[in-house]
Amino acid sequence: MTVTQKKIYLFANWKMYLDYAESIALANLIKQHRAAVPADCSMVIFPTALALPAVAEIIAPTVSAGAQNLHWLEKGGSTGEISAGMFKSAGAAYALVGHSERRHLFHETNHDVRQKLEASLAAGLTPVLCVGETLAERDADLAVEVLETQLRSAFTGLSWPASRPLIIAYEPVWAISRGAAPEEAGIHCDESQAEEMHVIIADFVKALVPSVTPIILFGGSVRPNSAGGYLAQEHIDGVLVGAAATKIDSWLGIIAATNKIIF
Ligand code: PGA
């Protein structure tokens, strides 16, 4: 039997938790600890747009940076917005698209998400499509239907560039935390529940985009003590971490969990 280390994706969504100075400070700590990042691990940090150019420079080349959100137009009269090409020119290589906070707090539709996905691809960014159902949708037995609608809308008829990985983050909205404190964690999504949804997503995406094998990350209150359990699942390729990625100790704890994942 050959034992191989599976490639793991550790993505950190700093959301609006860290200001400019705090972002730079954490980026420097990540740089100092770069030896802790396993060789076959792809790490991407999604900082506030304000700090992205500086963070990208500090963490390169071991770690990449990405946008948390973008506008689908290239340029024009869209006050306050930032385009995919602008992010790319400022040092971003990735972009979160359709994060549940964008969908629910800022009313982004599946159509908006599709436009952002296309704009990211056109600008040369690797989009990370976020999908997930709310608690009400899950309780009404609509989780699979909601995911399929989100995925169909994102990928139908889209020709995927051969050189670009297709990355999806499954983030059940009910599992996402409101902060780093234990009482701010979302409802726990256990690893077998997550794995079951990842299998459904993988099969559905393979039917929509047969040319690529999707990479699927799990997100929702991932903590140092739960990361290993998720990553040990066959269809969970990595994690997208919010609150626990905003402090060096918990982020290092999550990195340490990846060292124990052997297939
Ligand atoms: P969380 O955030 O780890 O704080 O739950 C994950 C996300 O929303 O991307």
Task: Find residue 13's DSSP bridge partners.
Answer: 46
Distance 176 CA to ligand 1 centre (A): 5
For ligand 1, say whether the CB of 176 is within 6 Å of any of its atoms.
Answer: yes
Q: Whose CA is nearest to atom 7 of ligand 1?
A: 242
pLDDT tens digits along 123-153: 999 999 999 999 999 999 999 999 999 999 9
Q: Give the per-residue pLDDT at 261.
A: 60
According to the model, what pLDDT value does residue 258 have?
87
Residues making up the chain, counted from first to last: 263
Q: Write down the pLDDT at residue 4.
A: 56
Given this model, what pLDDT does residue 2 score?
47
243 lines ligand 1 (CB under 6 A): yes
Count of CB atoms within 10 A of residue 141's CB?
8
- Chain-centroid distance, C-alpha 159: 21
Going from the Cα of 38 to the center of ligand 1, the distance in angstroms, rounded, reads: 22
Q: What are phi and psi of 41, to 5 degrees?
A: -130, 130
Show the tokens assigned to 165. 């990985």
Does 23 sit in the ligand 1 pocket, CB within 6 Å? no
Asked whether 78 and 28 are in contact (CB, 8 A), the reply is: no
The predicted structure's pLDDT at residue 1:
42
Task: Report the 3 state secondary structure along 189-216.
Answer: CCHHHHHHHHHHHHHHHHHHCCCCCCEE
Write 103-110 long-range contacts (CB < 8 A, 24+): 104/134, 104/173, 110/149, 110/150, 110/153, 110/154
Catalytic residue, chosen from 108, 133, 137, 171, is 171
- Sign for the CA dihedral angle at 112, 117, 123, 125 comes to positive
- Token readout for 182 is 């234990």
pLDDT tens-place values along the chain, 263 residues long: 445 568 999 999 999 999 999 999 999 999 999 998 888 899 999 999 999 999 999 999 999 999 999 999 999 999 999 999 999 999 999 999 999 999 999 999 999 999 999 999 999 999 999 999 999 999 999 999 999 999 999 999 999 999 999 999 999 999 999 999 999 999 999 999 999 999 999 999 999 999 999 999 999 999 999 999 999 999 999 999 999 999 999 999 999 998 766 54
Residue 243, burial from CB neighbour count under 10 angstroms (0-12, 13-18, 19+): buried
Helix (H) or strand (E) run with residue 217 in it? strand 215-219
